[in-house]
Amino acid sequence: MNTSPSEYAIIFAWLLCAIMFNTGMCSLNIRCSQKDKHALLNFKQGVIDPSSVLSSWSTQQDCCEWRGVKCDNITSRVTHLSLSCSTTLPTYTDKEDKSHCLTGSIHLSLLLVELEFLNYLNLRNNDFLAIQFDSVHSQYCHCANSSALHYLDLSYNDNLSINSLQWISSMPSLEYLYLTGIDLHKETNWLQFLSELDMGGCQLKDLSPSIQYANFTSLKSLSLSANEFPSDLPKWLFNLSSGISSIELYSNSLKGKLPKALLNLKHLEVLNLEDNKLSGPIPYWLGKLEHLRYLALNLNKFSGSIPTSFGNLSSLTSLLVGHNQLSGVVSERNFAKLSKLRELDIYSSPPLIFDFDSYWVPPFQLQRLALAFAGPNLPVWLYTQRSIEWLDIYESSFEAQGKFWSFVSRVAQLYLKDNLIDVNMSKVLLNSTFIYMSSNDLKGGLPQLSSNVAFLDISNNSLSGTISPLLCDHKMLNGKNNLEYLDISLNHLSGGLTNCWKNWKSLVHVNFGSNNLTGKIPTSMSLLSNLTSLHLHENKLYGDIPLALQNCHSLLIFNVRENNFSGNIPNWIPHGAKALQLRSNHFSGVIPTQICLMSSLIILDVADNTISGHIPSCLHNITALVFNNASYNKLTFFFPIDGFSYYIFEDSLELVTKGQTIDYGMNLHFVSLIDMSSNNLSGIIPPQMFSLIGLYSLNFSHNKLTGQIPNEIGNMKNLESLDFSTNQLRGEIPQGLSNLSFLASLNLSFNNFTGKIPSGTQLQGFGALSYIGNRNLCGPPLTKFCLQVSEPKDTKAIDEDGDESAFWSWFYIGIGSGFGTGFLGVSYKFLYDLRG
């Protein structure tokens, strides 16, 4: 690289300044080069900056003082450009908001050519859509190949798709490359001469592309986590530089046994193989990797016992082997020299047998512990741990007396799940910040909370009594509380909802479903201005929905199904709401047109009420149902656990679709549904309905609807479940219906349809029960043949009609499944590592 005369002058000036420094004669003020300023302004012009992040980049200011820019102290040439976007996850959100981040295209080649001293480039967590590295003029090629860049971070630009990484070869100085979360599934030659390579979540599918040409001599850290590798651990992995210190391959589909060639990596400090399908025994020889600090083998299919050789890994700080198929005995021999251990996961189902000396005092002080144990008593050594911040106990049986609750009161995150815990909770004061105590057969009344508690899930237990002790006893709250998440569903609680809500304004999620609560919704619940999710389903609540709840302007989910509510359907539901579930109550009146203003609605369930009038013709204004963007409809609760991790809970609803009731949990964001069945609706089905091409399930059955089904129903390509049964619909079944290739459940029975069922394997794939009760309908799968000439209107089908009232008790047992399958919704807890 040639040095210009002006740069020689700058260097000479600095040398002169250094000589004259002691005499106080140096007052040189060097501004950034015009070449660098011009390059940065070109970069600014080429990107979209919706929140004026680059507003300080003006010609009136020295570019070394611009936001994100750093210059060399001597030459004043630009060396660092850091423009990562800062985003914070709202407590309850669909997705991370990046509307304020930089977007557009990155013309990386010209940027590096013109900023020839740039060695650090960080554009992490923005929303760039494309990267360009191919429009370099020939006179720039030499400079590009001499790029000084040694650090490049493009991670978490979620919409950025890169087809090729060949441009990396133009960066011989590059040592650190971070591409986490970038779509690289079209790239197959992705390994280069690097010190650190992070390509987690890049949709990579093959672990051995062009691998014989790769050079690993400099590689110190390799992360290929959260990709799609359905293969054994590749041989090349164990031919890496013996100096490699970190390998992260968690959350792939890797299978097979751990090869002994791992011992070649003698300096390995981090080995993370969590959440794969690895099997066989955990090798004894892993205890020879004496430099290991972090060993994660959890969430696999390993069997056998935990090797006692692990007790020799004196550098180990994290040992995670839980959620496998382990068996055998665990004793102090497994942890003999682990004085640095801070994180331990030895959960197994069925539980491991603990054989610890009752006088044993561990050499470590844990910060995180997850375990399951066989036996009636907690291990005595647990009470020696004074630094635990995170405690998980699964599938165990023990008494929880005062000593236990005093111990866990110092634990910030407490998980107790699927245990048998003998305790009367009404005598317990909970103090942890995060408390997950679902499915433990807890008894007695609800516990008391201290002001420290922010998250409480005590669902699916045997708790009884009223909710007043929890919400109305403020002796421990000191006039304040931080509770955001409260789930006491699936218990035996009774009484009313109390009127103590003024003290709980921080609540975001409330679930009191599946109890025996009675009474009306108190108006004081309107004080919950942060509330986004309210579940009161399957209780004995009654009365109108109070208008005062319109103050809950953040509400996304309103679920009051299977109660005794009456009056009109609320017309105040916020326009941003996602799910409105009012089924199986006593609501009357008409469907308010204000529902059409709820453009984000994906679940509209008002079935099994006494609603009358017409189906609103404006439903096509619900734009969330017009577009097939189900993957963006996640209803996810993010609760920060520490500076790096979040508890992620995806909300759930029980929906009736495909003729059965399904609990949609993690799959809720794939479902878009309108269910107005079992009401008194009349009139025609508005033709505008059939522009809702994103709809997954549509049910208008058991009403008094008339008219025909327009052929435009064939536009609803994503429809999987359709039920128009028991109405007064007439005319022929439109041919367009046979175009719905995803349709898995169809019910057109007990209407006045006529003519031939449209041919095509889709409609013939359903059984005759899908069409029963339409006496003038013919053709397969019915046994009635269609005549060549028009039949008299009173012609009767052979063996097609039946008694409707007797029919419904067994109808859905026999209905055909079509060509699709339903989703099984599950609710599952896990932790997600936010690296942004």
pLDDT in tens, 608-617: 999 999 999 9
Token code pair at residue 695: 């709809």
pLDDT surpasses 70 at 810: no
Taking the model in full, what pTM does it have? 0.81
| CA–CA distance, 470 with 520 (Å, rounded to integer) | 19
197 close to 177: Cβ distance less than 8 angstroms = yes
What is the Cα gyration radius of the chain?
A: 32
User: Among 802, 824, 535, which Cα is nearest to 658's?
Assistant: 824
CA torsion, ordered 788, 789, 794, 800, to nearest 10 deg: 10
pLDDT surpasses 80 at 826: no
In the chain, CATH 3.80.10.10 sits at 32-181
pLDDT digits (tens, 9 = 90+) for 280-307: 999 999 999 999 999 999 999 999 999 9
Contacts of 167 (CB under 8 A, 6+ apart): 108, 109, 133, 134
DSSP assignment string, 441-509: --BSSPPEE-TT--EEE--SS--EE-SHHHHT--TTTTT-----EEE--SSEEEE---S-GGG-TT--E
Q: Is 479 left (phi over 0), alpha (psi -120 to 50) or beta?
A: left
Task: Looking at the structure, give the CATH architecture of the domain made up of residues 32-181.
Answer: Alpha-Beta Horseshoe (3.80)
What CA–CA distances, in Å, run from 656 to 97, 663, 680, 720?
32, 9, 19, 13
Q: How does residue 189 score in pLDDT terms, banded at 50, 70 and 90?
A: low
If DSSP codes are grouped into helix, strand and coil, which group holds residue 419?
coil
Q: Residue 823's pLDDT is what? A: 30
pLDDT surpasses 70 at 22: no
If DSSP codes are grouped into helix, strand and coil, which group holds residue 828?
coil
Termini Cα distance of the chain: 36
| CA–CA distance, 826 with 815 (Å, rounded to integer) | 24
| Mean of all residue pLDDT scores within the chain | 84
| CA–CA distance, 322 with 274 (Å, rounded to integer) | 10
Q: How does residue 87 score in pLDDT terms, banded at 50, 70 and 90?
A: confident
Q: Residue 481's pLDDT is what? A: 82
pLDDT surpasses 50 at 375: yes
The answer to which of 266-275, 613-622, 658-667 has the lowest mean pLDDT is 658-667
Q: Residue 188's pLDDT is what? A: 61
Q: Residue 831's pLDDT is what? A: 31
The answer to which of 394-408, 631-645, 648-662 has the lowest mean pLDDT is 631-645
pLDDT digits (tens, 9 = 90+) for 615-643: 999 999 998 888 766 545 567 777 777 66
The answer to which of 289-293, 754-758, 796-800, 831-835 has the lowest mean pLDDT is 831-835
Tell me how crowded residue 59 is: count the other CB atoms within 10 A of its CB: 8
pLDDT surpasses 60 at 384: yes
Token code pair at residue 456: 């409480």
pLDDT surpasses 50 at 486: yes
| CA–CA distance, 596 with 621 (Å, rounded to integer) | 6
pLDDT surpasses 70 at 352: yes
> Average pLDDT, stretch 660-668?
83
Burial class, 83, CB count within 10 angstroms (exposed 0-12 / middle 13-18 / buried 19+)? buried
Token code pair at residue 517: 């609560």
If DSSP codes are grouped into helix, strand and coil, which group holds residue 555?
coil
Which residue did the predictor score with more confidence, 676 or 220?
676
| CA–CA distance, 778 with 771 (Å, rounded to integer) | 9
Q: Residue 16's pLDDT is what? A: 46
Maximum average pLDDT range among 217-226, 313-322, 786-795: 313-322
Q: Residue 255's pLDDT is what? A: 92
| CA–CA distance, 447 with 406 (Å, rounded to integer) | 14
Residue corresponding to tokens 């099984």 = 824
Token code pair at residue 196: 């650190």
* Percent with pLDDT over 70 in the chain: 83
Residue corresponding to tokens 């941003």 = 576
> Average pLDDT, stretch 780-786?
90
> Average pLDDT, stretch 227-254?
82
Q: Residue 27's pLDDT is what? A: 38
| CA–CA distance, 249 with 252 (Å, rounded to integer) | 7
If DSSP codes are grouped into helix, strand and coil, which group holds residue 92?
strand
Which residue did the predictor score with more confidence, 140 or 636?
636
Q: How does residue 208 score in pLDDT terms, banded at 50, 70 and 90?
A: low
| CA–CA distance, 562 with 565 (Å, rounded to integer) | 9
User: Among 762, 727, 733, which Cα is nearest to 745's?
Assistant: 762
| CA–CA distance, 671 with 649 (Å, rounded to integer) | 17
| CA–CA distance, 54 with 49 (Å, rounded to integer) | 7
> Average pLDDT, stretch 819-824?
32
Q: How does residue 836 score in pLDDT terms, banded at 50, 70 and 90?
A: very low
pLDDT digits (tens, 9 = 90+) for 439-474: 999 999 999 999 899 999 999 999 999 999 898 876
Tell me how crowded residue 451 is: count the other CB atoms within 10 A of its CB: 15
Which residue did the predictor score with more confidence, 349 or 803?
349
Q: Residue 480's pLDDT is what? A: 72
Continuous segment of H or E residues that includes residue 404? helix 402-408
If DSSP codes are grouped into helix, strand and coil, which group holds residue 579?
strand
Token code pair at residue 245: 């210190």
Residue corresponding to tokens 């899930």 = 457
Burial class, 734, CB count within 10 angstroms (exposed 0-12 / middle 13-18 / buried 19+)? middle
Residue 399: strand pairing partners = 422
Q: How does residue 110 score in pLDDT terms, banded at 50, 70 and 90?
A: confident
Q: Residue 23's pLDDT is what? A: 40
Q: Residue 807's pLDDT is what? A: 41
Q: How does residue 813 score in pLDDT terms, banded at 50, 70 and 90?
A: very low
> Average pLDDT, stretch 738-762?
91
pLDDT surpasses 60 at 713: yes
pLDDT surpasses 90 at 163: no
Token code pair at residue 567: 């009056």
| CA–CA distance, 483 with 830 (Å, rounded to integer) | 20
